[in-house]
Amino acid sequence: MDFFSLEFLSALLTIVFIDLILAGDNAIVIGMASRNLPKHLQKKAVILGTVGAVAIRAVATILVVYLLDIPWLLLAGGILLLWIAYNLLTSNDDHGDIRAGSTLGAAVRTIIIADAAMGLDNVIAVAGAAHGNYVLVILGLIISIPIVVWGSTLFIKLIGRFPWIVYLGSGVLAYTAAKMITHEQKIASFFDQSELVRWSFMMLVVILIIAAGLWTNMMRARRTAAGKSRETH
C-alpha cells in the first residue's frame, strides 16, 4: 500500500478516529486511577500508564492482525465489532469499580491493567481497519498516544455537547466491521461479484446498527420516564 495513496491515508484517518471515539474509557480509567495522587505525580502517572497501556495494545493489535488471516476469524471479528459498535451507543457503564492508586506505581499498574482489560474493542477495530498493514497499526497508535493523554478528556466533553459524534463513531465502527466481513476469504467471492452488492451490504449494516442503538436508547428513556411518573404518583 502506497503511504501517500488515498486508500492508506483514509485507513489511517479511520484508525485515528476509532482511537478517538473509544478514548473515553481511557480518560475515565486514567482519571479514576490517579485521582488520589499528589498533583505533581498525576501527570507522570498519566504518561507512564498510557505509554504502558499503548505498548500492550500495540502488541495485541499486531497479534490480532496476524490471527485475522485464519479462516472465519475475520467474519467472527467483524460480528464482534458490530456488537461493540452497538454497545458504544447503548452502554451506561460508569467504571465505578476502578480503584484509585495511592502511589505512582499503583496508579500506573491500575491504568495498564484496566486499559488492557477494556481495550478489546480498540484492538479489534484497529486490526480490522488496518487490513493486515502493520505500518498502519503502529502509525495509528503513535498518532493516538498524545490524543489519549491530552485529548481524550476534551473529546468526552465534545461528545457530551454533541451526542451525534457517538453515532458517527458507531457508524465508522459498523462500516469497519462490515468491511471485515466482506473481506472474509470464505465468503469474499460473493461480494467480489458486484461492487453494488458490497456497498449495499456495508451501508445496510451501518444503518441497522445506528437504528438499533437509537431504538434501544428511546425504549430506555421511555421506561425511565414511565418509572419516574409512577414514583410521583
- pLDDT tens for 19-47 read 777 766 666 666 667 767 787 787 788 77
- On whether residue 194 sits in a domain, the answer given is yes
Q: Could you give the CA distance from residue 207 to residue 74 in angstroms, rounded to a whole number?
A: 21
- On whether residue 1 sits in a domain, the answer given is no
What pLDDT is recorded for position 74?
83
Q: What is the 3-state secondary structure (H, E, C) of 10-73?
A: HHHHHHHHHHHHCCHHHHHHHHHHHCCCCHHHHHHHHHHHHHHHHHHHHHHHHHHHHHCCCCCH
What pLDDT is recorded for position 1?
54
What pLDDT is recorded for position 200?
95
- On whether residue 176 sits in a domain, the answer given is yes
- On whether residue 171 sits in a domain, the answer given is yes
What pLDDT is recorded for position 148?
65
Counting the structural domains of the chain, the total is: 1
What pLDDT is recorded for position 2?
63
Range of the domain at 59: 6-232
- On whether residue 91 sits in a domain, the answer given is yes
- On whether residue 10 sits in a domain, the answer given is yes
- On whether residue 217 sits in a domain, the answer given is yes
What pLDDT is recorded for position 18?
81
Rounded to two decimals, the pTM is 0.73
What pLDDT is recorded for position 101?
63
What pLDDT is recorded for position 155?
60
- On whether residue 123 sits in a domain, the answer given is yes
Region at 131 (left for phi over 0; alpha for psi -120 to 50; beta for the rest): left
What pLDDT is recorded for position 210?
95
Q: Which ranges of the chain have pLDDT less than 50?
A: none
Q: Could you give the CA distance from residue 178 to residue 127 in angstroms, rounded to a whole number?
A: 13
